[in-house]
Amino acid sequence: MSIYNKLGRNDLERKQAVAGYLFILPNLIGFMIFVFLPLLASLFLSFFNWDLINTPVFVGFDNFIKMFKEPLFRKTLINTVYYTLGVVPLTVVFGMILAVLVNSVKKGFIYKFSFFMPYLIPMVGAALIWQSIYMPNFGILTYLLDLIGITSPQWLSDPDWAMPAIIIMSVWKNIGFTFIVLLAGLQGIPNRYYEAAEIDGANSIQQFFRITVPLLTPTIFFTVVISMIDSFKVFDQAFILTKGGPADATKTLVYYIYTQGFEYFRMGYASAVGWFLLIVIFALTIIQFIYQRKWVSYDV
């Protein structure tokens, strides 16, 4: 009874508190089992060696130390950074160009519909489509490059071209995200700013750099950070298009976690690499958060 009394000063408050607990309970139970517990478990696991069969052995920070000495881990990290540096600038720049263009024409509906569509389909489907586009010797891409006099590389089987191939495919797939977020941002800029600039005699290029870009900076930054976080989690396309090859050229961080965990059953080590990924993403999130607060006063 005493616990019940602590829930509120009077019966009305106590009843509300009980209702509150009952309402969150179904979600809270699921959340604890499927989100929170696995998160704690993965931190715990990263200090052990465990192959799912024998008794787990406590190894302290060994997994984390081992990770940085492992050449394949370093390679997957470099590959992931390469992918990120390719995909993020391209999706943001092209997303911006498309958003500005669509925002400036009347009846841009069909463009908006089409540019956003690749983002919604399953990554696996997108990767399969592009695999047939990249088909060596007889493929459509080989043919199109041939038309403009370029000899097509052996996209997916050449270690130098496999990652660019995955980047191009991913830019096509993800551009809809930056496009739609930036378009929403553009539409949020009040027309009166442009009208005032017009009266002051600013041309459209001046308007773009003096009004659009400054007011859109928080949105641009947001799409950059979200795209970076997303890029660090890249897996599906590499799994479908190249199986991480050739010569590990497209093996990414998540691919590495997947093989360590589910092919070699090094559960502890794979969890440690998972926590490395989490720390990278945490850092990116913090940067976004700090930056966002700096821009609050800019809100229009």
Partner 1 sequence: MFKLKNLIKHLVLILFLVVMLGPFLWLISTAFKQFGDVFAYPPKIIPNNLTWDNFARVFNSFSLVRYFTNSVIVTLLRTLGMLITSSMAAYAFARLEFPGREKIFIIYLATLMIPFQVVMIPLFIIMRSFGWVDTYQALILPGAFNALGVFLLRQFFLTLPKSLEESAFIDGASYFTIFTRIILPLAKPGLATLSVLSFLWSWNDFLWPLIIIDSDHMNTITLAISKFQGYYFTEWNLLMAATLVALIPTIFIYIVAQNYFVEGIATSGAKY
Judged by CB under 8 A, the chain residues 103 through 122 that form the site for partner 1 are: 104-105, 108, 110-122
**Window contacting partner 1 (CB under 8 A); options: 66-74, 176-184, 194-202, 208-216:** 176-184
CB of 144 to partner 1, least distance (A): 9
Nearer to partner 1, 160 or 198 (CB): 198
Closest CA to 232 of 283, 192, 190, 156: 283
**d(Cα 273, Cα 70) in Å, to the nearest integer?**
11
Nearer to partner 1, 2 or 137 (CB): 137
Contacts of 68 (CB under 8 A, 6+ apart): 74
User: Does residue 139 interact with partner 1 by CB under 8 A?
Assistant: yes
For residue 258, the one-letter residue type is Y
CB of 261 to partner 1, least distance (A): 5
Contact 161, 154 (CB under 8 A): yes
Nearer to partner 1, 96 or 160 (CB): 96
Nearer to partner 1, 105 or 199 (CB): 105
Buried b (16+ CB within 10 A) or exposed e, 221-241: bbbbbbbbbbbbebbbbbbbb
Looking only at residues 188 through 217 of this chain, which bind partner 1 when binding is defined by CB under 8 A? none
Both tokens of residue 2?
């005493």
CB of 289 to partner 1, least distance (A): 10
Looking only at residues 232 through 271 of this chain, which bind partner 1 when binding is defined by CB under 8 A? 232-233, 235-236, 239-240, 254, 257-258, 261-262, 267, 270-271
Question: Which residues sit opposite 57 in a β-bridge?
Answer: 49
* Count of residues of this chain found to bind partner 1 when the rule CB under 8 A is applied: 96
> Residue 149: left if φ>0, alpha if ψ -120 to 50, beta else—which one?
left
Looking only at residues 55 through 94 of this chain, which bind partner 1 when binding is defined by CB under 8 A? none
Nearer to partner 1, 117 or 213 (CB): 117
C-alpha distances in angstroms, 77 versus 21, 36, 148, 214, 278? 43, 27, 36, 33, 13
User: Does residue 20 interact with partner 1 by CB under 8 A?
Assistant: yes
User: Does residue 292 interact with partner 1 by CB under 8 A?
Assistant: no
Q: Enter the DSSP assignment of 242.
A: T
Closest CA to 223 of 257, 189, 253, 182: 182
**Window contacting partner 1 (CB under 8 A); options: 78-86, 174-182, 194-202, 210-218:** 174-182
Looking only at residues 27 through 56 of this chain, which bind partner 1 when binding is defined by CB under 8 A? 27-28, 30-31, 33-39, 41-42, 45, 52
Tell whether the torsion through CA atoms of 197, 199, 201 and 203 is positive or negative. Answer: positive
**Window contacting partner 1 (CB under 8 A); options: 25-33, 156-164, 194-202, 291-299:** 25-33
User: Does residue 287 interact with partner 1 by CB under 8 A?
Assistant: no
Contact 171, 118 (CB under 8 A): no
Q: How far is CA 47 from the centre of its chain?
A: 27
In the list 130, 218, 224, 251, the residue contacting partner 1 (rule: CB under 8 A) is 130
